[in-house]
Amino acid sequence: MTKTLKINKSTEQGVLEFLKFLLESDKVNGVFILKKINGDEAVAYSLVANPEDLKDAVPFYPLMPVNAGKLLSRFTLKGSTKKPVVAVVKPCELRGFVELIKREQGNLENLFIISSTCGGVYPTKMSVDRTIEKNLSKYWDAVKRGESPSDLRDACRACEEFIPYMADITVDLIGKSDIDKQCTMFLNTKRGEELAKDMKGEFSEKELDRKKLDEICERRGVEKKKLFDEIDAKMKGMEGLINIFGRCIGCHGCMRVCPICYCKLCEFESPNSEYAPSDYESELGKRGAIRVPPGTIYYQLGRMTHIGISCVACGSCDDVCPVDIPISIIFKRVGESVQKLFKYVPGKDVEEKIPLITFEKEEFTEVEE
């Protein structure tokens, strides 16, 4: 059983009350949270120290402007703050952050994490079109029923990892019909329990309603299969790859927003990936013609080997792709197959090693010849 804290307010209000309490009682020095920009439909992750400034905070807004894992990594890269900070993030953002910590790109010291069961987010394009606000009531109705609106990110509709790992506090959100009236928080860790101490509310012990969550997971699994089948039908061999990735303009936006890609100098932007005139000549001699610059398939396959093992399928890459390549589903598809190979769930446990930097002496003998 897990300790819980129940507050008789809407889930969002309850969490905001709680954050206010944490700031006012000096338990934390700051809150890392999604905040509306001047009441507009745009939101940005912000650090808030003044309880008053929480008024525009929208912890569960269905939008992920940037994967917060990447932001928390930048926040903690050079060490931790002296006083604790609490961050409210989505499960895949937390998983991305954990994967970055494993790559020594951040740490959890003096950082409390609040996350929730997640209903998914809309593509950022909808914040540009200003169509999120009018969809909000539809979104929350669907979340209460544990369903996914069809215009969510593909990666979200196909997401089966919507229960956070490694969160100090988990907010019960999806498939819960009374989120307008009640706020239930699960205090998963000792740290989480200490945080909630002295907060006004009802403390008890409970478990997440696994049965209901399993049903949601099953529904999303069906959606996932549909999306995977679509991709599989297209992604057949070199011809399929060229058909899918041929329209890539090489902006490398997918790499820049990816919470796993962190290299300061990316191999694909380094001189290693530049073609000299003599390289073009040799390519021409061999092929008769060559795309300029070459390297689209190389970049995509290369990135699969680099991040496939840790892809948390947040869908940020889809959001930024200017030519609408369904990158997130492709990477989720390939990533999951690799993760399954190593029985690895990225972002599940910060102590677990990335499979490629560890080994067992007796394994994979089937790949040797």
Partner 1 sequence: MEKDKEFMPRILAFLCNWCSYAGADLAGTSRIKYPSSILPIRVMCSSRVDPLFVIRAYLNGADGVLIAGCHPGDCHYDKGNYYTRRRFAMLKKIMGEVGLESDRLRLSWISASEGPRYAKTAIDFTEKIKKIGKNTAKNEIFL
- Contact residues for partner 1, defined by CB under 8 A: 235-238, 240-242, 246, 267, 286-291, 294-298, 301-302, 304-305, 308-309, 333-334, 337-338, 341-342, 355-357, 359-361, 363-364, 367-369
- Angle at which helices 296-307 and 237-245 cross, to 10°: 100
Q: Are 191 and 112 in contact (CB under 8 A)?
A: yes
Shortest Cβ 367–partner 1 spacing (Å): 5
DSSP string, 338-354: HHHHTT--TTS-TTSPP
- Angle at which helices 91-102 and 68-76 cross, to 10°: 40
Considering the complex, state which of residue 324 and residue 368 has its C-beta at the smaller distance from partner 1: 368
Shortest Cβ 75–partner 1 spacing (Å): 31
**C-alpha distances out from residue 77 to 100, 181, 202, 262, Å:** 10, 39, 37, 11
Q: Give CA–CA dist 185/225, Å, rounded.
A: 32
Q: Are 93 and 63 in contact (CB under 8 A)?
A: no
Considering the complex, state which of residue 128 and residue 341 has its C-beta at the smaller distance from partner 1: 341
Shortest Cβ 304–partner 1 spacing (Å): 5
Contacts of 20 (CB under 8 A, 6+ apart): 51, 54
Considering the complex, state which of residue 309 and residue 325 has its C-beta at the smaller distance from partner 1: 309
Q: Give CA–CA dist 139/303, Å, rounded.
A: 33
Cis peptide bond N-terminal to 164, omega within 30: no
Considering the complex, state which of residue 308 and residue 347 has its C-beta at the smaller distance from partner 1: 308
Shortest Cβ 244–partner 1 spacing (Å): 9
Shortest Cβ 305–partner 1 spacing (Å): 4
Considering the complex, state which of residue 131 and residue 243 has its C-beta at the smaller distance from partner 1: 243
Shortest Cβ 354–partner 1 spacing (Å): 10
Q: Give CA–CA dist 146/6, Å, rounded.
A: 21
Q: Give CA–CA dist 342/333, Å, rounded.
A: 15
Could you tell me which of 106, 42, 98 has the C-alpha nearest to residue 74? 106
Shortest Cβ 135–partner 1 spacing (Å): 34
Considering the complex, state which of residue 58 and residue 275 has its C-beta at the smaller distance from partner 1: 275
Considering the complex, state which of residue 54 and residue 258 has its C-beta at the smaller distance from partner 1: 258
Q: Are 112 and 167 in contact (CB under 8 A)?
A: no
Q: Are 185 and 172 in contact (CB under 8 A)?
A: yes
Shortest Cβ 338–partner 1 spacing (Å): 5
Could you tell me which of 88, 82, 84, 85 has the C-alpha nearest to residue 61? 88
Shortest Cβ 273–partner 1 spacing (Å): 10
Q: Give CA–CA dist 140/134, Å, rounded.
A: 11
Tokens for 285, please give them: 């001699």
Considering the complex, state which of residue 74 and residue 236 has its C-beta at the smaller distance from partner 1: 236
Considering the complex, state which of residue 60 and residue 245 has its C-beta at the smaller distance from partner 1: 245
